[in-house]
Structure 1
Amino acid sequence: MDIKILADSACDLTADYYNKYDIAFIPLTVRLDDKDYEDVKTIDPKTVYHAMRDGKTPKTSQASAQRFKSIFTSHAEANQPLVYLAFSSQLSGTYQAAKMMEQEVKESYPDAPIHVIDTKCASLGYGLVVLHAAKLAKQGAALQRIVESSKSCALHMEHIFTVDNLEYLYRGGRVSRTAAFVGSLLKIKPILHVEDGKLIPLEKIRGSKKLFHRMLEIMEERGDDLSNQTIAISHGDDFERAEQLASMIKEKFHVKDVIIEMVGSVIGAHSGPGTIALFFLNDTDFDRPA
């Protein structure tokens, strides 16, 4: 029986990927102008970024537990294998909601082939893990192989990113009011990464010219076999700079496959317009799709 891969909208994949690899997704919620919207389905990132540039502060919330229960129950009843790869538990309560519903459904269907995995990844770093699992499923890989290989992929996924305006991170509680003010005043650009699922400040760069060069240095220090892996870049409504970074990566590391997509509404609501994020593997010595 086919193995279904489920993701949530924080993976920042587009409909093309969902359709091509038969990936199911569950939307997180974005609240804007006192209305709730389903990410991807009823709101798009550009709407969120325009609102933020106008001074609005969108809020986000986790996916519905009841929706997970419905999906898990239908797969349990059909005895169809399902692997749900979740947005980092350190950044959203969605994983916990899914885990709770998995346990509830398995009280009635103890042998249900349902697996819920905390990727501890975000945006296209998370998206690359989802694609990894979906490609294995499409190739007919066994359920346990998909589960274990996806965990390895998530464990070795690097997230290196910067934001254009520290104000948005301040609003999200990631930096202090003073740091945001001083950073804006001195044109300091932060470089952050994800460590055990959490956003962690890494360095501060003075001036944007040095920024991409330093990101590539970090990529070189941490990356493994870069020319033979898929690299991903996500951007907060700044495709031009994302393309610039992609060109630098292709030239420096001879990378053939670079995915560029927009940072979605949920993550973008916290990182803001102008965010540039880079994703790659720090170890490729694990079971990967052919």
Structure 2
Amino acid sequence: MNVHILADSASDLPIEYFQENSITFLPLSVELNGKQLEDQRAIKPKQIYEEMRQGTVVKTSQITPSLFKDVFTELAKKGTPSLYVAFSSELSGTYQTAMMMRNEVLEEYPDFRLTIIDSKCASLGCSLAVKYAVELAKSGKQLEEIENAVKNYCQKVEHIFTVDNLEYLARGGRISKASAFVGGLLNIKPLLHVEDGKLIPLEKIRGRKKVFKRIIEIMKERGVNLQNQTIAISHGDDEESANEIKALIQEEFQPKDIYINYVGAVIGAHSGPGTLAIFFLNDEL
């Protein structure tokens, strides 16, 4: 590849994907029982969900400036043009820290070509953008071509998701604690999406089956050419629901591919067990 790709753990791609495609892996961290643990390396998502079900409060932290500087410096020494597809700046300070460290490294290596894209995406929404960047890099595209194409791609990624327990969103300040309590009593499931990198509530729906039906309706409303897309589904330790919505999507749209993975530890610490998210494109590339 003419361009080296970097991505962070908030893309929720399996670490094996990074290894198989020679991508630099940048881990965010979770704080669990007083210990800082690197996402995917020192802790797996299932462990986080088990802890959360037992009432453990999990905190998260962005990638450290020192890690960014070390990684960027190594790449600068090699002189390989590089592109980092970063977790949404509206959900983490990771992008801003990366830009700050990039500028520091460029003072010492002014000829180093490093592009950092604020994907405005999260979880497997970000993974779709990373996979697209890898595909372009493998096809021999140059840095500027990949940058423009990936930015365009990111603007078209839809994130539609629901959570099983409103309390976790309440802890993160996304909804009020009163709303979480009432919602839990009434079996209300919120539907949310991502707009310009921010989490935005869409609707409140009672019952899981109605939520699934509404997700399919939204995909019909927003999706374009779904039969030729790769659609991603991420879940908070709820493979049963992920496979259930996969079957509905398959039946309705017959997409080119559907892949499923966990909502990773960092994002899952805020969304909680039972989260279910669907990612697809809303326009032609």
- Please indicate the TM-score interval, normalised by the length of the shorter structure: over 0.9
Deviation at 1:112, TM superposition (A): 1.0
Q: Deviations over 1:45-93 (max 9, x none)?
A: 0110000000011000000111111111122222111101100001111
After the TM superposition, which of the residue ranges 3-12 and 14-23 deviates more from structure 2? 14-23
Q: Which moved more, 1:14-23 or 1:194-203?
A: 14-23
Hey, what's the Cα distance between the residues in 2 that align with 1:100 and 1:16? 29
CA distance in 1: counterparts of 2:41 and 2:16, whole angstroms: 14
| More deviation, 3-12/103-112 | 103-112
Contact 1:11–1:127 (Cα < 8 Å) also in 2: yes
State how far apart, in whole Å, the 2-side matches of 1:88 and 1:134 are.
19
How big is the shift at 1:139? 1.6
Q: TM-score, normalised by structure 2?
A: 0.98
**Corresponding position of 2:58:** 58
1:271 counterpart residue number: 271
Aligned-residue offset at 1:100:
0.2
Question: What is aligned with 1:154?
Answer: 154
Assess if the C-alpha contact under 8 Å between 2:2 and 2:142 holds in 1: no
Q: Distance in 2 between matches of 1:6 and 1:102?
A: 13
The SS at the match of 1:221 is helix
Distance in 1 (alpha carbons) for counterparts of 2:4 and 2:51: 35
2:120 aligned residue: 120
Equivalent residue number for residue 192 of structure 1: 192
Which stretches in structure 1 are left out of the alignment for 5+ residues? none
Structure-2 separation of matches of 1:42 and 1:217: 39
Alignment of 1:1-290 (within 5 A): 2-284=2-284, 286=285
Amino acid at match of 2:14: T
Q: CA shift at 1:170, angstroms?
A: 0.5
Deviation, 1:106, is: 1.2
Read off the aligned partner of 1:254 and give its amino acid letter. Q
Range moving further from structure 2, 250-259 or 69-78: 69-78
CA RMSD across the alignment? 0.9
CA distance in 1, matches of 2:136, 2:244: 31
User: 1:224 is paired with a residue of what secondary structure?
Assistant: coil
Structure 1: which amino acid aligns with 2:266? V
Equivalenced residue count is: 285
1:21·1:135 contact (CA, 8 Å) conserved in 2?
Answer: no
Letter in 2 for 1:238: D
Percent of aligned positions that are identical: 58
Distance across 2 between alignment mates of 1:15 and 1:266: 14
Q: Distance in 2 between matches of 1:226 and 1:23?
A: 28
**1:16 CA displacement:** 3.0
CA distance in 1, matches of 2:164, 2:173: 16
Question: Secondary structure at 1:77's aligned position in 2?
Answer: helix
User: What is the TM-score when the length of structure 1 is the normalising length?
Assistant: 0.96
| Aligned AA (2:65) | A
Contact 1:21–1:138 (CA under 8 A) maintained in structure 2:
no
Residue aligned with 2:36, SS:
strand
